[in-house]
Chain A
């Protein structure tokens, strides 16, 4: 019955695409949210079934033969193992909450039916991605979520800027996806199968550690992951993707789709193990991304862009974890991040909703009394993001990543992570203080109802308790997640130094979290005096480290230029020249047709002489 999990939202999409325009808003909301609700129920049912089964043996469900050519067979199949269970539950559950939230957030929009159709299609594609047992089916889900991301970023299609952001998102990720596709071709062509488990087994059997083929395949897959997960240098699309409706940002551009790259690398981690150089690159990219994006987040004025850079930075942590072999830690952080970042985006959506579409944090302030639920959501989500020790989910997952960076003897990576943690609490503190403290500037006009409130409460609770499934030795030593996922991943290498240094590192992380918030408060108090300095710094940092500028100059503009030059098709000019030449000869010859007999006689005579001469001479 596993196929029901992606089938329900797909059915919802088909129904809404066919009849969404004729249905009332209540019917659309019922179909859109109901289909994902049923999918979530099916997912929980399957998950409970799975967990009850002895030994957690993976399920493989073959659906149909997709293609079978010349001995290469692609079977559309679903695969459920502990990793897929975690992903599936998070996607379906968070997806359901965000659908529920959207029913109210999008109320009255002229594209209500279209919105839920796209969103349902997204959930179907995302579930296909995480449940796929075949790499090509995974790619189908992968491209499917990319399409939905494009459609939803450009959802308000009247504004060309939204369309531009949407195209940028699709094309930048497609550039990465082309790498991914080439990686798949390499794997399929050399290993002869596209079934993920068979493929990994074959790779482990055929390739020694450090083999160039494994490195090439892993590097190409990494390209796809970088694009989808908005990591350096393919991260430029995500901040602009905030043009979409806020629940879309929460679901697609924070909780689920952008972490698909992490899932891909986690799913194919044996390949990464075979390619140590690529794995080191993953860690390095993660570390650099998390610091740079953290700095960028400090200088944003758009409430959603702060969160977008924060997402890039947090996914950087997940990449860092993958790079040091913290396979479980990456998924753990994915899960807690899905909770608290979805919460933050939904809370930001509530603020924007209440202020009639205001995004600029400089025009907000003092909202904590007017929007208490949004405020507390921000406090809880922000604390979790800043990894406030012991009481938030984010602390445990981030601490695990930092610990694993340290214990695999990579102090440089640990330092980057620690600086990132400091930056995180700094920009998060700045955001919360600016929006909710200080004098009230804009009155909140629209209160919101239970459909928007309930998801905030549920995600708020999860952002606190979601971390207690895996805790360090100095705090309970719970190992629920890692023992559940133990069947999928090899145990992370841990230094023998043990609990003592882990406690010390945990304390250092706590210092970063609390210190950052305290610093943010100090800066907030003195913001009047610091305004000039901030403006100066922003001028230097705002253009996204020059990436947008570089891509514009190196790729986008030359392509436009070539397209403009080539519009008339240069090749055709050659044929046009041939036609012109023919016409010219025609005119030349027709000019000899003058109607004067004298000329004709002369011509005939000259011709006769010429041919006779030729005849004689030859």
Chain B
């Protein structure tokens, strides 16, 4: 699974993208947001407030209950500020 991080999530985590193999019990977006903070202090700090995180699965906005699969591209980012 490819993970992408944008804006302050990228700067706080320290990487823009990575490929991960989450444990099999990680089946949804919500599961992923619970698992990632266990990977290190940078993740725990950046993801401390789940309400501040938006998630896109395969470039579409996703909800916490949406499923994620091994080949997916999952992006995590703060609320958008374009325009």
A and B from one complex: no
